[in-house]
Structure 1
């Protein structure tokens, strides 16, 4: 590994350290970032950033760069015109007409105005170009976040890096180009003003240039402090953002009020913010100390140069007009040196964040060609998981352990078991969302190498399905986002799950936005949302349909209707049904019972009841609980009837 390069995969905390691995990672990250890095790394990052900005808009990038050179030229011209104006002004004392002073003053005013207009134009062009670059950079981050393996979202380190990149990187590529523009402008200004000063008095130039060395060191140190501060605050910032989101989301508003949890969450947010402010005050003091040291060093160099200039005037080595020009040149050259050094410092700081960005982009997998979206389920001949095991990050045991299961065309398979038995994990592996830690998945008899092909064959409805704050039509057509939405298919999918009756009655029908967060939106009940999610699965028209607790929010009548219609509506498709309501799976062709990540037994309802195993025990528990509940209600119902 290169010096200073952080290997995110190198740290794998044990179960004992998993709870504190985030803080340890931050410390490790900062420690490695303080390691001297090879100089060759920064030019590569700068080149990549420059290429990104250039590709965004060649015209605007060229205009900004050219403007910096023009502004530097204007500064040099101002020095020369200022010297001429002073010289002509001195001639007035000798009785010469003021007419010779008019032209230099007019030219000086024109050049100053042109320089100001060029600066303002460059600033406004930069604002537009910066926004366009930010869109491109953020878009790439979103692409990676959407593309990484699902298991990545179970690792807090991914969230830390994602938050840090989104918070700090989108403006950095343009910042790099701005720095380059500043370097071009600063460099051109330094060259032009140095030449001007060499003509006036060469001895002054080395003092100003040598004085830039401490400025570079102090500025570079400030860039390092800023990056380290961002890294150290990532985890706390994420937690603070979570508190803000929870306190302001519509989905959480009811429970916050019902339980009165707003107050403790608000206090926790306050504590987190106070900790941030303590760290920020320390950071501000450090940056201010560096800025003050930079300013004092710059001021000391300027004062020293001016004192030398005064001594030269006293000795008669420099005339008054030359001295005036030299004073202006010294001030402008000092400013250009600070611009040059500040650009280098910001370039170094941006390079640190861009390396973080590069590491994040490296998470994106090579995308395989997307399967044909119109391929029907007629081509499906079977899916199997063979001796599959799976473990979540930082977990101390496998969620699945040596599971084998075949899915055949057209059959209904129920996955049942107690909480934590591995049902949903197995479903996600069969749906191509997780890569097994061990074992393999086969599709149509072929070992799966590209899980996108499996995903295309599966319509999945999870317990925590997504509520898109978009139109009803979009919520359903997202079942096949790669093809043009079909209004008739959308309505047919909704009718199959009983969603058409309430969606069609909305103010704009299927065009109604399903969220009150936005104007003219409407909110659905949880049961209605579940039907929309089911409609999305129907719209996908996949040969395998996985339903994870598909009726959890439905009333008994709607639940009975759904289960009664599954076989007819999904005729010819393979259905994987995950549920805790065992009365709903009696009609399944096969029931697979999971226990602690293993297949405990499988068979039809009758076979499993006769065997007297775990399934029979669970059915008995649910049946007795239901009977007990009904028996307790009967006296109350009878009493209510008599009154």
Structure 2
């Protein structure tokens, strides 16, 4: 029998997918020397604003150092003219030396001041840079947590986040690059001022000499940035693969499934793709730099020709010519430095643009809402509720209308994909309706202050977080508390107290064995803690989404027998596939493909034909298969 290997699909298209509204490619193509000149002051100003926020005294000191350094450079060049004039003049050499020493003293002082200031600038820049990165990262994380939950279902949100995160990381670079730019500008200004005094004709030729390098460097920046954004999705996939290949949660499946060669092969193909794109960008950038250097060299030769012509025609004195040579060397180096650092600042600024855009728009999903501060809801109602996830062409919920009141337990049941979890997110205001409405005591959730609303919510999701925090923090979730009385009560209600008693340091034990002294819990133990969080919170709306999926029968029984007491002063919504557990509910809402198809008590629904009865019968069907026929041993 012949076998045919199925070729593995190339994921490059999916990883590089351009989502709607992504205008970065157009922005890259629009990068020109004129664009850079127009936007560069804005980029520096924005960076200085962040630096001013984190350490304004250091910013003031930096600006003062750069100003004094530029003045010292100009004084040094002017002193050079006086020194050369004195040394090459007529008369006794001793008299000429005495005439030159004040200028020499100025030169020495200027050099010493500039050296001291350079050390100070380096120290101040190194002091501000990590503070800027920290501030930008904190602002970015704050923006991410301030986005609507729907953002995480958007195909473009993660790309926007990745690029914004890169902008936060390079924020520390822009302050150092900005200081280099200011230093180069100060030196350039000083040299240009001296050359302008010597002969104004030299200035336009210096500008001409800078243009070829400027064009080349800008094109290199565009190529580098384009390569980076092109590989955003590929880079993120590498991060995910690295996590799975090294994390203990995937280790058993990688080994038992013999997945290592497959995953390593996928990793290698993606890294090869990224390397190829970046190598091409490096090659193209080097070509641009070569052309820029060639053009700059020809322009510099023209400047030197003009300078020598001025000397030969008597328009420039010998002493001024010597000073002009020094000034020209200073200016030439400064022009190169200005072009190079301007490009670095501009390229870093492109990444910070991604950061700024994300901060302004939160990836297009800035948290919205009203100003109404809700009390603990007495009634939660949905009215003709419709919800559709972004990128899909069908509604996850379609025309759902139901009511849950304080003191009762409402169960949501149905097959996978019926919309149960989606509905639970909508009634907790984690999602906003596509159409229709969700109301708390008559107030549309769109009009609620989101953070105030969530203070009234206790949620146990299907995928609960196992925080690398202490046992106490894993229950309180950082909420302030006076003592552990309520903490113990919540843990006893869920069985988490049994786990705490077994921990080495009780509530002070770190629940993460990646650190010394930490403890890793089982899935069932973690679920007890997830339930304890919800019970401890004492919010008015309690939503339990598959709350006992990992619990043993004894722990599960404890939860459901105590749920009636919990519901006395709360609205309780229970989402589960275990239909025998919903007997505790006052009402059961049966969902099918986003619509409510049945509603009633356990006794009513289990006693009549319909989806609920069908699913209940299937769960209870434990037909014993026919016994295995024993095979008689065959003897020769």
TM-score scaled to structure 2, two decimals?
A: 0.87
2:526 corresponds to which of 526, 529, 538: 529
CA contact (8 A) 1:496 1:569 kept: no
Deviates more, 1:73-82 or 1:413-422: 73-82
Partner of 2:216: 218
Three-state SS of the structure 2 residue aligned to 1:156 is: coil
**CA–CA distance in 2 between the matches of 1:215 and 1:162?**
33
CA contact (8 A) 2:16 2:234 kept: no
Shift in Å, 1:614:
1.0
**CA–CA distance in 2 between the matches of 1:496 and 1:195?**
80
**CA–CA distance in 1 between the matches of 2:193 and 2:607?**
100
Partner of 1:365: 367
**CA–CA distance in 1 between the matches of 2:555 and 2:329?**
81
**CA–CA distance in 2 between the matches of 1:568 and 1:26?**
50
Partner of 1:31: 26
Per-residue CA deviations over 1:298-353 (Å, capped at 9, x if unaligned) read 33333333344445555665455433322111010112223333444345434433
CA contact (8 A) 2:137 2:165 kept: yes
CA contact (8 A) 2:165 2:355 kept: no
- C-alpha change, 1:485 and 1:301, in structure 2 (3 Å) is farther
Alignment of 1:91-102 (within 5 A): 95-96=93-94, 100=98
Partner of 2:57: 59
1:22 corresponds to which of 17, 24, 38: 17
2:501 corresponds to which of 504, 517, 542: 504
**CA–CA distance in 2 between the matches of 1:248 and 1:329?**
58
Q: Does 1:121 align with 2:97?
A: no
- C-alpha change, 1:492 and 1:98, in structure 2 (3 Å) is farther
Q: Does 1:594 align with 2:591?
A: yes
Shift in Å, 1:412:
1.5
CA contact (8 A) 2:174 2:348 kept: yes
CA contact (8 A) 1:548 1:577 kept: yes
Three-state SS of the structure 2 residue aligned to 1:389 is: strand
Shift in Å, 1:237:
1.2
Shift in Å, 1:258:
2.5
**CA–CA distance in 1 between the matches of 2:218 and 2:465?**
46
Deviates more, 1:321-330 or 1:105-114: 105-114
Alignment of 1:478-627 (within 5 A): 478=477, 481=478, 483-484=480-481, 486-625=483-622, 627=623
**CA–CA distance in 1 between the matches of 2:39 and 2:85?**
51
2:431 corresponds to which of 426, 430, 434: 434
2:294 corresponds to which of 290, 293, 296: 296
- C-alpha change, 1:88 and 1:488, in structure 2 (3 Å) is farther
Structure 2 residue ranges without an equivalent (≥5): 1-12, 631-636
Per-residue CA deviations over 1:419-465 (Å, capped at 9, x if unaligned) read 11111111111111111111101111333322625433221101101
Alignment of 1:203-602 (within 5 A): 203-313=201-311, 318-361=316-359, 362-363=361-362, 364-365=366-367, 371=373, 377=376, 380-448=377-445, 449-450=447-448, 452=450, 453-478=452-477, 481=478, 483-484=480-481, 486-602=483-599
Partner of 1:12: none
- C-alpha change, 1:322 and 1:158, in structure 2 (3 Å) is same
Shift in Å, 1:151:
1.0
Three-state SS of the structure 1 residue aligned to 2:503 is: coil
CA contact (8 A) 1:422 1:597 kept: yes
Partner of 2:7: none
Q: RMSD value over aligned CA atoms?
A: 3.1
CA contact (8 A) 1:130 1:171 kept: no
CA contact (8 A) 1:75 1:332 kept: no
CA contact (8 A) 1:133 1:171 kept: no
Three-state SS of the structure 2 residue aligned to 1:467 is: coil
CA contact (8 A) 1:443 1:454 kept: no
- C-alpha change, 1:485 and 1:254, in structure 2 (3 Å) is farther
Per-residue CA deviations over 1:402-430 (Å, capped at 9, x if unaligned) read 11111011111211111111111111111
CA contact (8 A) 1:298 1:334 kept: no
- C-alpha change, 1:395 and 1:485, in structure 2 (3 Å) is farther
Count of residue pairs brought into register by the alignment: 608
Shift in Å, 1:31:
3.1
- C-alpha change, 1:92 and 1:510, in structure 2 (3 Å) is farther
Shift in Å, 1:256:
2.0
Shift in Å, 1:496:
1.4
Shift in Å, 1:171:
3.1
**CA–CA distance in 1 between the matches of 2:597 and 2:279?**
59
Partner of 2:188: 190
Structure 1 residue ranges without an equivalent (≥5): 1-17, 637-643
Deviates more, 1:181-190 or 1:72-81: 181-190
Shift in Å, 1:121:
1.5
Per-residue CA deviations over 1:337-386 (Å, capped at 9, x if unaligned) read 233334443454344334333331223335756948xx6x5xx3211111
- C-alpha change, 1:200 and 1:544, in structure 2 (3 Å) is closer
CA contact (8 A) 2:140 2:168 kept: no
TM-score scaled to structure 1, two decimals?
A: 0.86
Shift in Å, 1:85:
4.5
Three-state SS of the structure 1 residue aligned to 2:569 is: coil
**CA–CA distance in 2 between the matches of 1:459 and 1:136?**
31
**CA–CA distance in 2 between the matches of 1:298 and 1:217?**
10
Deviates more, 1:325-334 or 1:497-506: 497-506
Q: Does 1:164 align with 2:124?
A: no
- C-alpha change, 1:21 and 1:212, in structure 2 (3 Å) is closer
Three-state SS of the structure 2 residue aligned to 1:502 is: helix
**CA–CA distance in 2 between the matches of 1:367 and 1:447?**
10
